[in-house]
């Protein structure tokens, strides 16, 4: 039977990471737990090193070059230690109900033509189960102030789509997912040219060129205590700028956006950014 390793990405979030470690440390299906500390600026790394947990190891990145970079550090360590292996990648702000949940996800991943598996994710009162890869046109409309969310929602599959044990989707959330090491090697690991966001769409675009499926296990639900680490460390405007920089990278390098679409993307991004600044200014004025 293939080994299963669990990789947690931490940045300045020791308490939340410790909560997840306490959650999973006795789960028998896990052969090894790695925490990749993405060069935290607080005392997270030293605190994590002091924990006495079986089958557990902390890795510190030499610098913080983004989420995909941290994923690759963890993946390459797992492959070096175990060879061909099943890997769970997880944000620190995840809650898992049982060892059986992980066993059920692993069973799906171990099917020959499956490359990536995710659970149903409960976050902010809603279920996140996957979405369709957007076209450049979808992305342009999604950038529009006020109405953009409606176009984003159009990329979601309907609730009725999720029938049976598993459902095939274009993209799953990277807050928590499983992947085969062989798949990672075939797609040359995660693209490190984004700092944060769009890792899902980029990786899914790479997988479309392989024989592997992306599946959601409809029988397993995990809780995502959404964006604890991100919200704690990045301001709202900076988050938006990072998001849109990643969006442009995806559109140019993976989604074949033409010259006119690139111009429209840049315009709609600037328009939304101006709207955000105005909204913040008005709220600040109201507080006075």
CATH code of the domain containing 262: 3.90.550.10
Confidence of residue 288 (pLDDT cuts 50, 70, 90): very low
Locate 53 and state its tokens: 């947990």
Alpha helix stretches (DSSP H) within the chain? 14-24, 44-49, 67-82, 99-109, 136-142, 148-153, 181-186, 199-207, 228-233, 236-253, 259-287
Q: How far is CA 102 from CA 139, 162, 214, 255, in A?
A: 34, 20, 17, 33
Q: What is the pLDDT of residue 44?
A: 96
Query: Is the predicted pLDDT of residue 272 greater than 70, yes or no?
Result: yes
> What percent of the chain has pLDDT above 70?
95
Q: By three-state DSSP, how is residue 5 classified?
A: strand
Query: Is the predicted pLDDT of residue 79 greater than 80, yes or no?
Result: yes
Q: What is the pLDDT of residue 70?
A: 98
Q: What is the pLDDT of residue 152?
A: 82
Q: Which residues contact 265 (CB under 8 A, 6 or more apart)?
A: 136, 139, 140, 143, 247, 248, 251, 257
Q: What is the pLDDT of residue 107?
A: 97
* Tens-place pLDDT, residues 184-241: 999 999 999 999 999 999 999 999 999 999 999 999 999 998 755 555 556 778 889 9
Confidence of residue 287 (pLDDT cuts 50, 70, 90): very low
Looking at every residue in the chain, the average pLDDT score rounds to 93
Query: Is the predicted pLDDT of residue 276 greater than 60, yes or no?
Result: yes
Tell me the pTM. 0.93
Q: Of 74-88, 173-187, 236-250, which range is least confident? A: 236-250
Q: What is the pLDDT of residue 281?
A: 78
Query: Is the predicted pLDDT of residue 50 greater than 60, yes or no?
Result: yes
Number of domains in the chain: 1
Query: Is the predicted pLDDT of residue 81 greater than 90, yes or no?
Result: yes
Confidence of residue 283 (pLDDT cuts 50, 70, 90): confident
Which residue range(s) make up the domain with 68? Answer: 4-287
């Amino acid at each position: 039977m293939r080994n299963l390793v669990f990789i947690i990405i931490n940045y300045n979030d020791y308490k939340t990471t410790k909560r997840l470690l306490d959650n999973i440390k006795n789960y028998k299906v896990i052969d090894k737990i790695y925490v990749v500390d993405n060069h935290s600026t607080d005392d997270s790394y030293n605190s994590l090193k002091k924990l006495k947990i079986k089958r557990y190891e902390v890795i510190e990145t030499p610098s913080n070059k983004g989420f995909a970079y941290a994923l690759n550090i963890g993946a390459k360590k797992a492959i070096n230690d175990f060879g061909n292996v099943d890997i769970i990648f997880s944000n620190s702000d995840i809650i898992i109900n049982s060892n059986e949940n992980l066993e059920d996800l692993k069973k799906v991943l171990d099917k020959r033509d499956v490359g990536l598996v995710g659970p149903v994710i409960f976050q902010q009162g809603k279920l996140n189960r996957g979405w369709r890869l957007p076209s450049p046109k979808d992305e342009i409309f999604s950038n529009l102030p006020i109405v953009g969310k409606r176009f984003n929602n159009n990329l979601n599959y309907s609730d009725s789509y999720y029938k049976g044990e598993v459902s095939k989707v274009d993209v799953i959330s990277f807050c928590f997912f499983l992947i085969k090491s062989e798949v990672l090697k075939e797609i040359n690991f995660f693209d490190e040219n984004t700092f944060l966001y769009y890792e899902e769409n980029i990786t899914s675009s790479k997988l479309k060129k392989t024989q592997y499926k992306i599946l959601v296990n409809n029988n397993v639900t995990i809780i995502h205590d959404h964006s604890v680490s991100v919200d704690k460390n990045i301001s709202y405007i900076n988050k938006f700028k990072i998001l849109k920089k990643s969006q442009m990278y995806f559109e140019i390098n993976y989604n074949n956006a033409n010259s006119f679409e690139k111009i429209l993307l840049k315009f709609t991004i600037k328009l939304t950014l101006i709207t955000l600044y105005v909204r913040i200014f008005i709220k600040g004025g109201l507080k006075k």
